[in-house]
A = this chain, B = another copy of it.
Amino acid sequence: MLRAAIDLADERGLEELSMRNLAESLGVKAMSLYNHVANKEDILNGILDVIIEEIQEELADREASISPTDWKQRVRTRCLTARHVLLRHKWAPNLMTTRTTMSPTVLRYFDDMLGTLIAGGFTMDLAHHAMHALGSNALGFTQELFESDDLGPEVAAIFSQDPPPPGYRNLVEMAKHVEHDAETTLGGGCDDQFEFEFALNLLLDGLERLFERS
- Residues of A in contact with B (beta carbons under 8 Å apart): 93-94, 96-98, 100-104, 107-108, 110-111, 114-115, 118, 124-125, 127-129, 131-133, 135-136, 138-139, 142-143, 145-147, 150-152, 154-155, 158, 167-171, 173-174, 177-178, 181, 184, 190, 195, 198-199, 202-203, 205-207, 209-210
A96, A131, A170 pick with most chain B CB within 10 angstroms: A170
Q: Classify the secondary structure of A's interface with B.
A: helix
Question: Given the known A-B contacts A98-B94, A104-B154, A124-B177, are A171 and B110 also in contact in the complex, defined by CB atoms under 8 Å?
Answer: yes
Chain B positions within 8 Å of A168 at CB level: 104, 107-108, 111
Copies in the complex: 2
CB distance from A92 to the nearest CB of B (A): 12
User: Out of B125, B158, B206, which one reaches A181, CB within 8 Å?
Assistant: B125
A133 to B190: give the CA distance in the assembly, Å.
13
Question: Given the known A-B contacts A111-B168, A114-B171, are A145 and B150 also in contact in the complex, defined by CB atoms under 8 Å?
Answer: no
Top 3 nearest A-B pairs (CB, nearest first) are A136-B143, A202-B206, A133-B199
A128, A129, A145, A177 pick with most chain B CB within 10 angstroms: A145
Considering only CB atoms, which chain B residue lies closest to A153 in the complex?
Answer: B101
Chain B positions within 8 Å of A209 at CB level: 205
Chain B positions within 8 Å of A94 at CB level: 97-98
User: Out of B136, B147, B169, B173, which one reaches A102, CB within 8 Å?
Assistant: B147
